[in-house]
Amino acid sequence: MNLKQKARIYSPWVFHAHAGGCNNCDIEIAAVFSPRFDAERMGIKLKNNPRHADILLVTGPVPKQVESALKRIYEQTPNPKVVVAVGSCAIDCGPYNYDNGSENYALAGPVNKVIPVDVYIPGCPPRPEAIIHGLALALEQLALKR
């Protein structure tokens, strides 16, 4: 592991991409970076630009309107990058799919159909502690990539 990789793992920058959904996971992500749960003590910082980010936090079931924007955000983040799907909508469209399992006409599928996903965090919404655990798993994945 060289110096550049080591520095990246000790201060990963996070970009939060909201792709549809009910905003509940977004509130929990806001709580993660608040003083009470304080992910910034571990060096994880929230940024508003995908060009600065190492980790992408994606929430929501990806409607068709957002699909192209999400792809563009993924292309804008520099390599190496890790994508984290937060919440049950991002993993399997959650309650937005129909009861019998057929797909909703307005959705472009869960996040892993649009862009490759590395870590999944289930929960509706996941606890702030669960998101911190997911970010720790994402850092393991970031250490493996070059």
Partner 1 sequence: MVILIKELLKNIKQCITIDYPAGTWPGKKYSQIVAYGRGMHEFDEEKCVGCGACASMCSNKTIKLIDEEGKRTVSIYLGRCIFCGKCQDICPEKALKLTPKYELANIDKEKLYVKNSLDMAKCESCGKFIFTEKQINTVKNKVLENLKPETKEKVRFDMEKYLKLCPDCRKTLSFKLEIHPRKLY
Among 83, 91, 108, 115, indicate the residue that binds partner 1 (CB under 8 A).
Answer: 91
- The first and second tokens of residue 51, run together, are 């060009």
| Separate counts of helices (H) and strands (E) for the chain | 6, 5
- Rank residues 23 and 65 by Cβ distance to partner 1 and give the closer one: 23
**Which residues on adjacent β-strands are paired with residue 19?**
none
- Pair 108, 127: CB distance under 8 Å: no
- Using CB under 8 A as the binding rule, whether residue 38 contacts partner 1 is answered as yes
Q: Is 103 among the residues that bind partner 1 (CB under 8 A)?
A: no
Indicate whether 130 belongs to the interface with partner 1 (CB under 8 A): yes
CB of 43 to partner 1, least distance (A): 14
# of chain residues touching partner 1 (CB under 8 A): 30
Residue 15 as a binder of partner 1 (CB under 8 A): the answer is: no
Does residue 45 belong to the site contacting partner 1 (CB under 8 A)? no
Please identify, among the stretches 6-14, 43-51, 54-62, 127-135, the one whose residues bind partner 1 according to the rule CB under 8 A.
127-135
| 43 lies in the binding site for partner 1 (CB under 8 A) | no
